[in-house]
Structure 1
Amino acid sequence: MIELIDGLPDGVVGLIAVGQVESADYEAVAAPAVKKALEHHQRIRVLHVLDDRFGGYTAGGALQDAILGLAHPRSFDRIAVVSDEDSIRRLVTLAGWSIPGEVKLFPNEELEQATAWAVEDLETP
């Protein structure tokens, strides 16, 4: 499942993966949150947390994660990914170059720093 992270400034979408992440989680939570943020901002920031509560992606969940990025290729200013999971860190490292915005990896213990980076110097519309 994907849950929204509360308390972030407008223009920053916070997502936390809990348990198994499926296609429906992106359709019900992540995609609408991104769409809503893009109604008010040309470019947004994302804080994506895949910590110890993350149980992995189903095939559909992994596909929807990729589709979400491809559907809005120039809409992300910064993406902070928080995870200690080796496979997630490798994937972000390999695919991060293809995302027009900045992508930065943080270990689980640096969630606070990841959040600060995601909101740093945020321009308001």
Structure 2
Amino acid sequence: MTICRHGITVGIERVETRLLVSFKACGTLTHQDYQTITPILESALAEVEHPQIRAFFDASELEGWELRAAWDDLKLGLKHGQDFERVAILGHQQWLEWASKVGNWFIAGEVQVFEDEQSALAWLES
């Protein structure tokens, strides 16, 4: 029997109007993963008027998205893209560079890919 591991872990820290949101994704993300995570994000964002979000996305174990999950991700980006100041993506997969460029179309702030976690976190704080 093979165990298929997938999902998103989220951490949210709030300092006044700034939010630091950290995500760790593994496996192939599903629509169900987004149904679980979306209310958590919506709740955190609803608490702050004009949130400023810096996000750390650990994609080092991410294999991709199911089509419906990719649509869910796009909808979140369209709804909250103006709130993001910076998104640091951690991973070594070649397709992450392409994904970051697409993400830049939907996010007002900067998106950058890193292979080193400390560099990513330093860039978010700068």
Quote the Cα distance in structure 2 between the aligned partners of 1:96 and 1:28. 25
| Cα deviation 1:70-122 (Å, max 9, x = unaligned) | 01131111111112111222121244144211211112xx112212322x15x
Contact 2:28 2:62 in 1 (8 A): yes
1:101 aligned onto 2:117:
no
Higher strand proportion (structure 1 or 2): 2
User: Secondary structure of the equivalent of 2:92?
Assistant: coil
Alignment-derived partner of residue 61 in structure 1:
69
Q: Per-residue deviation at 1:68?
A: 0.8
Alignment-derived partner of residue 70 in structure 1:
78
Letter in 2 for 1:74: Q
Q: Work out the percentage of aligned pairs sharing the same amino acid.
A: 28
Letter in 2 for 1:57: W
Contact 1:82 1:114 in 2 (8 A): yes
Tell me which structure has the larger Cα radius of gyration: 2
Alignment-derived partner of residue 87 in structure 2:
79
Alignment-derived partner of residue 3 in structure 1:
9
Structure 2 alignment gaps of length 5 or more: 1-6
Quote the Cα distance in structure 1 between the aligned partners of 2:78 and 2:105. 13
RMSD: 2.0
**1:91 paired residue among 89, 92, 99:** 99
| Cα deviation 1:24-50 (Å, max 9, x = unaligned) | 212212x23432332235221111111
Quote the Cα distance in structure 2 between the aligned partners of 1:106 and 1:43. 21
**TM-score for the superposition, normalised by structure 1:** 0.78
Alignment-derived partner of residue 3 in structure 2:
none
**1:48 paired residue among 37, 51, 57:** 57
Structure 1 alignment gaps of length 5 or more: none
Question: What is the total number of aligned residue pairs between the two structures?
Answer: 114
Quote the Cα distance in structure 2 between the aligned partners of 1:84 and 1:76. 23
